[in-house]
Amino acid sequence: MNPTGFLDNLNSFVQKEALFRKEDVLLCAVSGGLDSMVLVHALHSLGYAIEIAHVNFELRGEDSFLDEKLVQEWAGNHHMLFHLKRAGETLKKMPGSLQENARNFRYEWLENLATERGIRHLVLGHHAGDQLETILLQFFRGGGIRALKGMNPSSGLRRRPLLPFSKEQLQAYAEECGLHWREDVSNAGDAYRRNQVRHQLLPLLEDVFPGYSGVLLRNAERLSLQAGVLDHTFEELNQAFLKLKNASSVEYCLDAIEAHPLGTWFLTDLLVRNGFSFSDAFSLSENCGKTESRVRSNGSGLVAEFRYPRFLFRKEGEVLLPEVCIERAEKAVFQLSDKLILRAELSSSPPQNGGLYLWSTPLENLKFPLLFRLWRAGDRIAPAGMGGKKKKVSDVLSEAKLSPTEKSTQYLLEDAGGRILWIPGIRNSEVLEEKSGPFFVLILGTADH
């Protein structure tokens, strides 16, 4: 490719995707291979200020140090800061996939380095061929739309300005500019799955579907647009279904999710976004019955709990404060914790001097079932003595000068119509419209009183 034409196309892509600006400092990850040497040379030719970062994994003997030498000398010849990280014995001692461990080791160091240097753009040399391989690998791993759209030009600190260019275009540019690079001999074999895709699958696809690469990349762009729409829809539904979010849990309205035409999709996507496999997520979303309570862990410390009509996430091993559903007016005792209980009673007359931990109202005022639960953002109460004017429960709790811990464990009483009737220890609502009995009474106290 003509160097000028290549640079013009590269600059146009950077501007179109708003990857970075001319006044920005770029941290370029440079391995010494064709892709990264073209990357740093082209960006330098366009006038960007660059710092170079190189990771020596020390896995290929002398070749690893020859890569390091090439990159360091190039940086010195072009008056660029050079940052080096050698892996030593670290990778050899780590369990699991060597390739995956090396990738994580590299990205962790690069992103920490960028943060330490105050650089907002970590620039990587991924090109169109890498994109094709990524899309196919994700497809056969069962990735969804977000995975099948491939790598984004911009994600977090990472920037990928070479994504529109093929390997052949990069090589033509390098040869025209007289660039030197080093070939990683491990890329020539088929020890890794990505190499098998590159050397075996892609040539076969080209034989069967000539020009397949352009079609696949265009489909990835279409999927990227659709993924944006789905992300927007997900956020809207997430706000609609979210009931409670605090330090200990996140709770959703499972009955509302089930009733929505996109409910199964939302619940599946919600679980996947929180580290559950698609198979587990789809199974859970398809079988969240109204009677069976179930708990499932994602294997990374997060638990999804189905307790109809509630669905919530909590940390593994964390005990949640329960909620109580009072189906009808009868004498009963509900255990909230080892010491805390809620007593329900019937009385022919209103109790006297019960304080704010006792609540009562004529039965004819009530709509069952009642729900005794933790307060949520958006709850509002019409406090007694305010003529029916409503206040946010959050404001009532703040005025009561509750600590953050006290707020997180504050219960309230809600009727079937959604009215907040009582905030124990804080406020009663204005619901006593009649003075005749019988009265329904609730008392919050300890087991020994």
Looking at residue 142, which CATH number applies to its domain?
A: 3.40.50.620
The confidence score (pLDDT) of residue 289 equals: 57
Q: Give the least confident one: 111-120, 144-153, 200-209, 313-322.
A: 313-322
Task: Please give the tally of structural domains in the chain.
Answer: 3
This prediction has a pTM of 0.65
188 and 335: one domain?
Answer: no
Burial of 320 (0-12, 13-18, 19+ CB in 10 A): middle
**Model confidence over 122-159: pLDDT tens digits?**
999 999 999 999 988 888 887 778 778 889 999 999 99
> Which has more confidence, 100 or 143?
100
* H or E element in which residue 12 lies: helix 3-17
289 and 387: one domain?
Answer: no
**Model confidence over 154-191: pLDDT tens digits?**
999 999 999 999 999 999 999 999 999 998 766 666 66
**pLDDT for residue 291 is more than 60:** no
345 and 285: one domain?
Answer: no
366 and 392: one domain?
Answer: yes
**pLDDT for residue 444 is more than 80:** yes
Alpha carbon 373 to its chain centroid, in Å, reads 27
41 and 164: one domain?
Answer: yes
In whole angstroms, give the CA distance from residue 223 to residue 216. Answer: 10
In whole angstroms, give the CA distance from residue 375 to residue 445. Answer: 18
Q: Max CA-CA distance within the chain?
A: 98
Cis before 369? omega within 30? yes
The confidence score (pLDDT) of residue 354 equals: 62
- Give the residue numbers spanning the domain of 400: 324-446
Q: What is the mean pLDDT of residues 187-213?
A: 82
Please state, as a whole number, how many other Cβ atoms lie within 10 Å of the Cβ of residue 235: 10
> Which has more confidence, 28 or 432?
28
